[in-house]
Amino acid sequence: MGNGITFVHSADLHMDSLFKTKGHLPEELLERLRAGTFEAFDRLIQVCINEQADFLLIAGDVYHEELRSLKAQVHVRRGFEKLQKHDIHVYVSFGNHDFTGGAEHAVSFPENVHVFQSEEVQAFPFYKEGERLAHIYGFSYETRAVKDHKAREFQKTGHPLYHIAMLHGSLETKTDHDVYAPFTLEELKNKGMDYWALGHIHKREVLSSDPLIIYPGNIQGRSQKEQGSKGCYVIEEKEGEWKSRFQPLHSFVYESVSYPVPSLEHPNDLERVLEDAKRQITESGASVMLSVTLEGSGSQWKRWWSSGVMDEWKDIVNENEDLTQEGWVWIEDVRLSEVVSWNEEDLHGPHFTGEFLKKINEADHESVDTWLAPLYGHRKMSRFVSALDEEEQAEVLEKAKTEAVNQLMGSGDDGFDHS
């Protein structure tokens, strides 16, 4: 038998996940959003068939929750049954979202599916034309949080042509995501594996080209934090050369656009501005959930925003969108980014504004949590808010700083001597 192997690497399917949307959306659009992960999964199955893959790897978080809906489980099973008809095997591990300890009423998979059932690292053999071609190594989360350095437990066994490892975890130096099953790049490279199929981080990234160590990201974006194309990687090895190719799977994408409007005179001009913002996006041909940031200055911005006129124009522009056609663009929200008239460096000094800026710039994650604790603990308000991640905290701090300094500068109470 000639050497060579082809497989598809995916992760973080989050089947049946709820989308984080803002405001009221028409039912037709909500249905498109809810169907997104299912449609992306169907494309994943078709990619495996089209590429005549030997097998499919799913490196954790097949489902969004440990309590998996029957709808999602049956949809996944039917996809795997399609692969079985084409003699394509599937290797599945479960991650922090769909850990095995929380599963109830699990639907059985067909015989071509091999599931890592425990946190103990094990190996499944892959046979092709009677030859043991590869060992697939991996484990599943039994609880939501796995803090052990699981990469250290991977050991090559036997002498197949290929050793392929699946790991749902994160670089121990990463701080922008929950750190589970932490590892270092050096640890992975030292294990001598031919390929590391990673999962958990929703942004695709090639950590190493020799050996290939890849995060494919998730298969469908679910909020503005998960922008751009989403999909899987097709991996091929032939005559010692490894190749990787990203394959988009998404049904729609999340995108954002900044639009400078320094001289907007009347709120009715917002219709033209929002239509122009949409035209910047439509060139890609993909369906888009769009966030528009308007960059300008002046008190009229805040009046238009607080009066609701910006949201009204957003809704009016969205009314013309045909959701039955591919390539639709729906404006999810409109944000303001004020162009300030002051230079922060000029305001540092031994006065009130300078001290205020110093305190804001020194604020860390714990400080913001402390400031927001009364809101989180409020009997009535707490159900309307959720904890902010570090990126959201930084955005809130920046907006608070801009607003506060504008107020101080406007009132003359900025700590400077104006006489």
Domains of the chain: 5-248 (3.60.21.10), 254-411 (no CATH)
8-state DSSP, 201: -
Which secondary-structure segment (H or E) carries 138? Answer: strand 131-138
Question: Residue 408 is which amino acid?
Answer: L
Q: How high is the pLDDT of residue 344?
A: 53
Query: Reduced to 3 states, what is the DSSP secondary structure of residue 82?
Result: helix
Q: How high is the pLDDT of residue 38?
A: 96
Residues contacting residue 222 through CB under 8 Å, at least 6 positions apart: 14, 17, 19, 20, 36, 37, 254
CA-based end-to-end distance of the chain: 90
Distances 230 to 77, 180, 215, 227, 282 between C-alpha atoms, Å: 22, 22, 11, 8, 18
Q: Which residue has the tokens 């599963």?
A: 103
Distances 369 to 299, 359, 379 between C-alpha atoms, Å: 30, 15, 17
Query: Reduced to 3 states, what is the DSSP secondary structure of residue 89?
Result: strand
Residue numbers of the chain with a pLDDT score lower than 70: 1-2, 18-23, 66-67, 102-105, 175-176, 263, 283, 298-299, 339-365, 368, 376-395, 397-419
Structure tokens at 256: 């954002």
Cis check: omega of the bond before 374, within 30 degrees of 0? no
**Distance from C-alpha of 289 to C-alpha of 293, rounded to nearest angstrom:** 13
**Distance from C-alpha of 65 to C-alpha of 175, rounded to nearest angstrom:** 23
Query: Are the C-beta atoms of 113 and 82 separated by less than 8 Å?
Result: no
Query: Reduced to 3 states, what is the DSSP secondary structure of residue 386?
Result: coil
Q: How high is the pLDDT of residue 415?
A: 40
Q: Which residue has the tokens 């591919």?
A: 326
Q: Edge-to-edge, what's the strand order for the sheet holding 253-260?
A: 253-260, 288-296, 329-338
Q: How high is the pLDDT of residue 98?
A: 87
What's the pTM?
Answer: 0.84
Q: How high is the pLDDT of residue 370?
A: 76
Buried b / exposed e over 230-261, threshold 16 CB at 10 Å, is: bbbbbbebeeeebeeebbebbbbbbbbbebeb
